[in-house]
Amino acid sequence: MDNSRYKDMPGNFIHDIIEADLESGKHKEIITRFPPEPNGYLHIGHAKSICLNFGTALKYGGKCNLRYDDTNPVKEDIEYVNSIEDDVRWLGFEWAEHRWASDYFDIMYDAAIELIKKGKAYVCNLSPEEIKNTRGTLKEAGKESPYRNRSILENLELFQKMRDGEFKDGEAVLRAKIDMSSPNMNMRDPVIYRVLHETHHNTKDKWVIYPMYDFAHPIEDAIEGITHSICTLEFEDHRPFYDWTLEEVGFWKNPPRQIEFARLNITNMIMSKRYLRAMVEDGTVSGWDDPRMPTIAGIRRRGYTPEAIRQFCDEIGVAKANSTVDIAQLESCIRSDLQNKCETRHIVTNPIKLIITNWEEGRIENIEVENNRNVPELGTREIPFGRELWIDGDDFMEVPVKKYFRLFPGNEVRLKGAYFVKCNEVIKNEDGSIKEIHGTYDPDTKGGECKTRKVKGTIHFVEASTAIKIDIREYSHMMIEKEDGTQEFNPDSLKETWGYAEPLVADIKPEERIQFFRKGYYIADSKLTTGDKKVFNSIVNLKTSWKK
């Protein structure tokens, strides 16, 4: 991808901090990181974080690492690791270093020993329940643990025992010794190591104690020389402990700085990994890559482009306060990206047979039509025209409503690129449904041009003898916004239908994007399109309700 665009990436308050740090000489090179926990698929909220971290590094000619935050052996699954790498690359970024937090367990252990030696950490044998109950509240100070004043020597011995597996899960923890009456709950002697007899995907059975996230994260950042550790707003209250850890451990001369920004929320989308996992597990959606899902795997299968996602992330900017972005803004980015890239093809749904009674049987004429009205360089193609055509169900009304300019008995329309055609007769089946409609064409209107009269409607068609059948999946928003501000799953988010397409549609390969004339943008589904079977996912419609 063209990374130079990041040189002129719009600035934000994080970039102001970075520029001040470069100017003062605090840092010479900017190093950021994207630190996913491998416990689910990445979603578009993560894309925001990826674009911000990688984009910032590119903007300042620095580096961005991909680091798996794999300090919790229970929740992680290696299946997710591959998907995360695919997703970052798909977005167009390449990491400088590929790291695992678990590679740093030895250093984290040393850091814990260091704290104990300084009298800044102690082994506590209160149960998890008791620790919770003695933490106090926002209004009330917590209660000091009876184990808080153990000697350094005793703590060193007990911590060694924790490491040696002499305690069961929950029987002992290591806590930072800070202040049980701090107004910040995170500073009330937080647990920094716990006993967990679990096999870790990377370190296997080497450890039976594992560091807590809040202790591990600043150390991971410091080891990698991260200069600016960008995270979401809910970590703001954790920042004092982040700074405390680095200061007290004292291993690093120029420690990283944590900066928080607002999480991305989008209407009609849900971004909680837990919720998404539940929908995958109970079969509400077909998988993590269901095209309705906000996961990167999902939006990619849906046909969204990485360029559009990056554009969207740049456009919404970086905020200090949480807010929700209208999904129409995202869709508008997709539409702007596709409108100059995709070629157009004709398809019809709910097809109705139109017979041109004054056209010779068996005669096929090739009509030249443009591939993309906005981009002449995309050229033209030929589509067949003949006696039997399919038109779209929406383009015919036996009894027209007001201002209906498409086909109805007695009315004349332009068949796109071909001729003027007038509807003369509607032939019915026994049950009263329409069997076919009969019309006549005017040979003097070739190319859809006529000097002597005008028609108000232009519709398109697919020649019947050469038409191919395609399957179509029309997707709409996965979540419905309810009045009380909550969201619920939209049971109508997938409609399966089918249609007839012009013959060139047979050449479309999986993952190829196309505009279906007068309908919208579509992609040949990567999994369901096989051999002669064509399955298209709707990406986005042609018109926007979004206004800048």
Our answer to whether residue 453 is catalytic in this structure is no
Q: What is the four-CA torsion angle of 496, 498, 504, 510, rounded to 10 degrees?
A: 20
Nearer to ligand ATP, 254 or 322 (CB): 322
Smallest CA-to-CA distance from 418 within 457, 379, 461, 454 is with 461
Secondary structure class of 8 (helix, strand, coil): helix
Contact between 303 and 521 (Cβ < 8 Å): yes
Query: How far is it, in rounded angstroms, from Cα 344 to Cα 413?
Result: 21
DSSP designation for 493: S
CB of 152 to ligand ATP, least distance (A): 34
The number of residues making up the chain comes to: 548
Nearer to ligand ATP, 162 or 264 (CB): 264
Closest separation in Å from C-beta 312 to ligand ATP = 12
The one catalytic residue in 143, 263, 353, 381 is: 263
H-state helical runs in 234-372: 239-249, 273-281, 296-302, 306-316, 327-339
Binding residues (CB under 6 A) for ligand ATP: these are 35-37, 39, 45-46, 48-49, 231-232, 263-264, 271, 273
Two tokens at 175?
């806590």
Q: Residue of minimal CB distance from ligand ATP?
A: 45
* Shortest distance in whole angstroms from residue 183 CB to ligand ATP: 24
Do the Cβ atoms of 203 and 214 come closer than 8 Å? no
The residue annotated as part of the active site, out of 59, 194, 273, 534, is: 273
Starting at the edge strand found earlier in the chain, the sheet holding 420-428 runs 458-459, 412-415, 420-428, 434-441, 352-356, 388-391, 461-463
Which amino acid is present at 217? H
Our CB check for ligand ATP shows the closer of 69 and 392 to be 69
- Tally of CB atoms within 10 A around 169: 12
363 a catalytic residue: no
Smaller CB separation from ligand ATP, 36 or 384 = 36
130 catalytically annotated: no
CB of 118 to ligand ATP, least distance (A): 30
Structure tokens at 165: 């597996």
Our CB check for ligand ATP shows the closer of 46 and 228 to be 46
Cβ contact 51:3 at 8 Å: no
Measure CA of the first residue to CA of the last residue in the chain; give whole Å. 26
Tell the smallest beta-carbon distance from residue 28 to ligand ATP (Å). 24
Burial label, 209 (beta-carbon count in 10 A; 0-12, 13-18, 19+): buried
Q: Which of 273, 292 has the CB closer to ligand ATP? A: 273
CB of 290 to ligand ATP, least distance (A): 19
DSSP code at position 471: E
For ligand ATP, which is the closer residue by CB, 37 or 471? 37
Question: Smallest distance from the beta carbon of 56 to ligand ATP, in angstroms?
Answer: 13
Catalytic residues: 37, 263, 273
